[in-house]
């Protein structure tokens, strides 16, 4: 298993969760190569917080459940570590506080203000991206955790491996389909 | 003594009789602290004496119930996908002319949708798990693959041309099929879909070793198609003497083997069982070759050890159940000697056969598809060609400065005739390929037009294509007979091919019902070729027309083709997709004709080039 830190290769992780009626949530993490070809997939069993947790965690329940618990478990379990984890759920950004791997939110084009978007390539200076602007990687906009804005810069050296036409939201759709299939096959029994 | 209360006026309604109490006892009770004097005044003088109870304070505060957030142990289900074969894509070879000019690849005409001004976003083609994939891991493997469009978009795999949308569907279908019969009509790209699916299977680690079996005349075609569509894949052809072939069958590390039916039948039937090669995928091209289940070929094919079985054929065989049964037996979807009835065949066909016809996929296809059939000469043709070329060039060199275009022209024509067929032996690589294609077209009920610049070639072809009931139409045919010939070609379902010369063909000739056009040899001027082709292809034609140009490789035809392509590209680059006017400039001029040969004349210093020194007028 190769590490993800080499400059000549980049593993991407795509993290998603779905709700199962009455049984809680399950999460899935798909690790691909820089072109989107799948390498490994992990998904969790359903988890549902009890009433006490719901009350006492309050608003921090979702980030804890999705980010720390589900995301953290998957990231620890997967054998091929990704160089960056991409998700479409803002609650999953919490994962970044429990791992050293950059975590980014894939945004829609319309969701980000155009004038706040970085240009197609990273700037040549070495200063980290100091504000919360989304960054264009491939054909998608990625927004990193507000407390770890240096993540954008850390991806810079390997960003060229991702094709300009790469749609980084597409693998998330695959994860959702795989989770739905898993629910149908395993958890419906 | 009567005790009374302060409320003496009240009549003791409930105590009709006074209560007698011992006075001394009463006084004792009065002085006892337990006795409370009633009345307002005694009440005023009574000072409350609160009593206290000592309560020990707990130093520890218990929280009940105790609760700590704890990490909920989660179980995970994992799937590691197999490592695919990694190939370093070769640099795309740039075609170079002898003077070092680099040529560009030519793309096929792109489909133009009527009324479509912007780009149509194509729905991505996802690979679906096959119906018989029951395990979750198998199903997840297919669901997690990327859409074919992004997979093939040059990120990992270089595709020389973008597939049509129905081809994406075919590739996805093949990829997820253990058993498959791809029965697309001829010209829709069965070869390309098969090669691309093979490429993806290798990339994703699903297969490691593949055997492709095809008729012998089609081997060069498959080799060329692999070079075009999967340049990074090592392909080995099983050929040569017995010991070499045995070595090739057993050689490890070869992903793709190509062999013809005869060699497979001979070699594998003689091989001991322990030495029999094993494959992950066996593909049979022109699979109707095994339609007779009792033939040796069919038996050997079925006996090959394999995990996946694919068959390719353009011949509709729905009306011959026994033949379908033979193919299904090869695909291992019916038991040995199984004879499914019509209903079972229909169900199996729905699941295991994919057939598209031109009219069904017309909206995805351009009205006209041009494809080149690059054919190496047969051995006899090669020998004759080399001798003629060598002798011809020597003669031209000896002419020195008295050489003219006409001299060169004559040599070119002679060489082109040898490319058509060897005059001594009659061998013809083009005829072999034509017969193979016509077999498929005729079986589909299709019709084809063949063009040649020589009536002699047409007359030579006619008896050799007898099984397709050829009709001849050239300048040598009396005028009175021409119209009936065209009528017969149109109406007779058994008349599958019309042999025509470029020179004939009047305005108004309408052959739109022919779906295939073969250019047996090339004309000097592409516009004349287009005019010929347009007899079959008109605006508004119902079905796409497949145009096949035969080009003999490593010959003068290839050089002529290259020059004509450059001229066409230059024309289009300057004037765009122009009309047919002013196409004379597209034909070869004198300097270009001379440039087909590197002609030298002896001089005092050694040798010097022969030829016109500047651009001349058109020679054609």
Q: What is the pLDDT of residues A50-64, one digit of tens each?
A: 888 888 888 888 888
- Greatest mean pLDDT range, A86-90, A131-135, A149-153: A86-90
Q: Is residue A4 part of a domain?
A: no
B136-364, what's its fold?
Answer: Rossmann fold (3.40.50)
* Contact state of B74 with A36 under an 8 Å Cβ cutoff: no
Six-digit token string for A117: 């978007």
* Contact state of A41 with B81 under an 8 Å Cβ cutoff: yes
Judge whether residue B352 has pLDDT over 70.
yes
C-alpha span between B366 and B113 (Å, rounded)? 9
- Out of 1.10.940.10, 3.40.1500.10, 3.40.50.300, 3.30.450.20, select the CATH number for domain B368-609: 3.40.50.300
* pLDDT range class, residue B579, cuts 50, 70, 90: very low
What is the helix (H) or strand (E) element at residue B393, kind and residue range?
A: helix B379-399
C-alpha span between B567 and B564 (Å, rounded)? 5
Q: CB-based burial of residue B44 (10 Å sphere; 0-12 exposed, 13-18 middle, 19+ buried)?
A: exposed
- Greatest mean pLDDT range, A122-126, B396-400, B509-513: B396-400
Choose the mutation target among B65, B74, B153, B199 for the interface with A, i.e. most A CBs under 10 Å: B74
Shortest CA distance from A34: residue in chain B: B155
| CB-CB neighbors (< 8 A) of A43 in chain B | 76-78
C-alpha span between B376 and B429 (Å, rounded)? 7
Q: Is residue A152 part of a domain?
A: yes
Helices (H) and strands (E) in chain B, counts: 20, 16
C-alpha span between A16 and A44 (Å, rounded)? 11
Q: What is residue A137's three-state secondary structure?
A: strand
Judge whether residue A129 has pLDDT over 50.
no
Judge whether residue B95 has pLDDT over 90.
no
Q: Is residue A148 part of a domain?
A: yes
Lowest mean pLDDT among A71-85, B297-311, B473-487: B473-487
Domain count, chain A: 1
Shortest CA distance from A77: residue in chain B: B76
* pLDDT range class, residue A82, cuts 50, 70, 90: very high
* Contact state of B147 with A166 under an 8 Å Cβ cutoff: no
How many angstroms separate the Cα of B295 from the Cα of each of A90, B290, B291, B292, B308?
Answer: 65, 7, 9, 6, 22
Nearest neighbour of B140 by CB, restricted to A70, A167, A181? A181
* Contact state of B78 with A69 under an 8 Å Cβ cutoff: no
Mean pLDDT of B587-603: 62
Judge whether residue B602 has pLDDT over 70.
no
For CATH 3.40.50.10810, the residue range(s) in chain B are 136-364
Judge whether residue A153 has pLDDT over 90.
no
What is the helix (H) or strand (E) element at residue B574, kind and residue range?
A: helix B556-575
| CB-CB neighbors (< 8 A) of A70 in chain B | 74
Query: pTM of the prediction?
Result: 0.64
Q: Is residue A66 part of a domain?
A: yes
Mean pLDDT of B241-265: 92
Lowest mean pLDDT among A70-79, B18-27, B449-458: B18-27
Q: CB-based burial of residue B309 (10 Å sphere; 0-12 exposed, 13-18 middle, 19+ buried)?
A: buried
**What is the model's pLDDT at position B608?**
63
Mean pLDDT of B36-40: 80
* pLDDT range class, residue B397, cuts 50, 70, 90: confident
Average pLDDT of chain B, as a whole number = 77
Q: Is residue A158 part of a domain?
A: yes
Determine the structural domain holding residue A109 and report its residue range.
12-187
Q: B253-292 burial by CB neighbour count: b if 16+ within 10 A, else e?
A: ebbbbbbbbebbbebbeeeeeeeebebbbbbbbbbbbbbe
Chain A residues whose C-beta sits inside 8 Å of any chain B C-beta: 30, 32, 35-45, 47, 52-53, 56-57, 64, 69-70, 73-74, 77-80, 163, 165-167, 170-171, 174, 177-178, 181-182, 185-186
* Contact state of B76 with A44 under an 8 Å Cβ cutoff: yes
Lowest mean pLDDT among A149-163, B377-391, B413-427: A149-163
C-alpha span between B547 and A186 (Å, rounded)? 52
* Distance separating the N- and C-terminal Cα atoms of chain B: 162
| CB-CB neighbors (< 8 A) of B150 in chain A | 35-36, 165-167, 170
C-alpha span between B511 and B451 (Å, rounded)? 13
Chain B residues whose C-beta sits inside 8 Å of any chain A C-beta: 67, 69, 71-72, 74-81, 84, 124, 136, 139-140, 143-147, 150-151, 153-156, 203-204
Q: B326-354 burial by CB neighbour count: b if 16+ within 10 A, else e?
A: bbbbbbebbeeeeebeeeebeebbeebbb
For CATH 3.40.50.300, the residue range(s) in chain B are 368-609
**What is the model's pLDDT at position A171?**
93
Lowest mean pLDDT among A87-91, B12-16, B524-528: B12-16
Mean pLDDT of B309-329: 79
B144/chain A closest Cα distance in angstroms: 6
Task: State percent of chain B over pLDDT 90.
Answer: 26
* Contact state of A167 with B79 under an 8 Å Cβ cutoff: no
Q: CB-based burial of residue A53 (10 Å sphere; 0-12 exposed, 13-18 middle, 19+ buried)?
A: middle
Q: B138-168 burial by CB neighbour count: b if 16+ within 10 A, else e?
A: ebbbbbbbbbbbbbbbebbbebeebbbbbbb
**What is the model's pLDDT at position A114?**
42
**What is the model's pLDDT at position B616?**
41
**What is the model's pLDDT at position A89?**
92
B195/chain A closest Cα distance in angstroms: 19
Six-digit token string for B191: 């070869």
Tens of pLDDT, residues B421-455: 998 899 999 999 999 889 888 888 888 999 998 88
C-alpha span between B182 and B362 (Å, rounded)? 18
If phi > 0 it is left, if psi is from -120 to 50 it is alpha, else beta; for residue B400 that is left
């Amino acid at each position: 298993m190769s590490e993800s830190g080499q400059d000549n290769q980049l593993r991407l992780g795509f993290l998603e969760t779905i709700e199962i009626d009455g049984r809680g949530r399950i999460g899935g993490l798909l690790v691909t190569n820089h072109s989107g070809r799948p390498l490994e997939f992990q998904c969790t069993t359903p988890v549902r917080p009890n009433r006490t947790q719901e009350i006492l965690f309050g608003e921090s329940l979702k980030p804890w459940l999705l980010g720390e618990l589900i995301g953290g478990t998957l990231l620890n379990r997967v054998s091929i570590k990704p160089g960056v984890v991409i998700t479409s759920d803002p609650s999953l950004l919490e994962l970044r506080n429990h791992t050293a791997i950059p975590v980014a939110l894939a945004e829609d084009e319309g969701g980000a203000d155009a004038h706040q978007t970085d240009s197609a390539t990273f700037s040549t200076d070495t200063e980290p991206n100091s504000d919360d602007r989304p960054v264009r990687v491939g054909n998608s906009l990625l927004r990193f955790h507000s407390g770890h804005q240096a993540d954008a810069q850390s991806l810079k050296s390997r960003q060229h491996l991702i094709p300009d036409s790469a749609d980084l939201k597409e693998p998330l759709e695959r994860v959702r389909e795989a989770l739905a299939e898993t629910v149908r096959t395993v958890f419906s029994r | 003594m009567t005790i009374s209360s302060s409320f003496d006026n009240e009549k003791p309604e409930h105590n009709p009789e006074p209560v007698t109490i011992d006075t001394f006892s009463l006084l004792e009770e009065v002085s006892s602290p337990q006795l409370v004097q009633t009345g307002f005044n005694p009440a005023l003088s009574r000072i409350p004496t609160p009593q206290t109870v000592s309560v020990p304070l707990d130093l520890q505060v218990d929280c009940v119930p105790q609760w700590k957030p704890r990490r909920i142990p989660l179980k995970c289900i994992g799937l590691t996908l197999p490592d695919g074969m990694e190939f370093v894509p070769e640099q795309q070879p740039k075609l170079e002319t002898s003077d070092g000019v680099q040529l560009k690849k030519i793309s096929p005409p792109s489909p133009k949708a009527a009324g479509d001004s912007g780009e149509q976003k194509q729905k991505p083609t996802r690979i679906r798990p096959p119906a018989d994939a029951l395990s979750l891991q198998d199903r997840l493997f297919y669901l997690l693959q990327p859409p074919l469009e992004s997979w093939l978009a040059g990120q990992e795999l270089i595709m020389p041309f973008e597939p049509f949308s129905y081809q994406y569907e075919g590739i996805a279908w093949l990829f997820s099929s253990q058993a498959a019969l791809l029965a697309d009509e001829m010209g829709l790209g069965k070869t390309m879909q098969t090669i691309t699916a093979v490429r993806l299977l290798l990339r994703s680690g699903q297969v490691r070793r593949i055997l492709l079996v095809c008729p012998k005349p089609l081997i060069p075609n498959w080799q060329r198609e692999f070079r075009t569509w999967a340049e990074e894949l090592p392909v080995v052809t099983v050929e040569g003497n017995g010991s070499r072939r045995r070595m090739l069958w057993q050689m490890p590390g070869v992903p793709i083997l190509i062999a013809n039916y005869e060699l497979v039948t001979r070699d594998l039937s003689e091989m001991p069982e322990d030495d029999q090669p094993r494959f992950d995928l066996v593909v049979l091209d022109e699979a109707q070759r095994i339609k007779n289940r009792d033939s040796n070929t069919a038996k050997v094919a079925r006996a090959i050890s394999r995990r996946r079985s694919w068959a390719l054929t353009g011949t509709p065989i729905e009306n011959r159940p026994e033949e379908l049964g033979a193919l299904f037996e090869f695909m291992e979807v019916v038991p040995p000697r199984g004879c499914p009835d019509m209903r079972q065949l229909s169900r199996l066909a729905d699941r295991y056969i994919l057939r598209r016809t031109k009219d069904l996929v017309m909206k995805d296809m351009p009205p006209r598809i041009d494809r080149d059939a690059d054919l190496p000469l047969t051995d006899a043709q090669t020998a004759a060609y080399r001798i003629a070329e060598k002798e011809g060039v020597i003669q031209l060199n000896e002419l020195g400065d008295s050489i003219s275009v006409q001299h060169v022209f004559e040599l070119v024509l002679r060489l082109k005739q040898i490319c058509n067929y060897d005059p001594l032996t009659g061998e013809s690589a083009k005829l072999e390929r034509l017969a193979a294609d016509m077999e498929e077209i005729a079986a589909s009920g299709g019709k084809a037009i063949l063009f040649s610049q020589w009536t002699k070639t047409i007359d030579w072809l006619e008896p050799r294509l007898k099984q397709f009931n050829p009709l001849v139409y050239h300048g040598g045919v009396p005028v009175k007979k021409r119209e009936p010939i065209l009528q017969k070609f149109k109406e007779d379902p058994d008349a599958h091919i019309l042999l025509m010369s470029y020179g004939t063909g009047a305005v108004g000739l309408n052959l739109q019902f022919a779906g295939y056009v073969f250019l047996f040899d090339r004309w000097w001027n592409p516009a004349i070729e287009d005019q010929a082709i347009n007899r079959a292809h008109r605006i508004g034609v119902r079905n796409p027309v497949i145009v096949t140009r035969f080009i003999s490789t490593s010959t003068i035809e290839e050089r002529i083709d290259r020059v004509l392509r450059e001229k066409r590209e230059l024309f289009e680059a300057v004037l765009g997709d122009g009309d047919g006017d002013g196409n004379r400039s597209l034909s070869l001029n004198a300097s270009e004709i001379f440039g087909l040969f590197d002609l030298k004349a002896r001089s005092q210093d050694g040798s010097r080039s022969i030829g016109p020194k500047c651009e001349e007028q058109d020679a054609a």
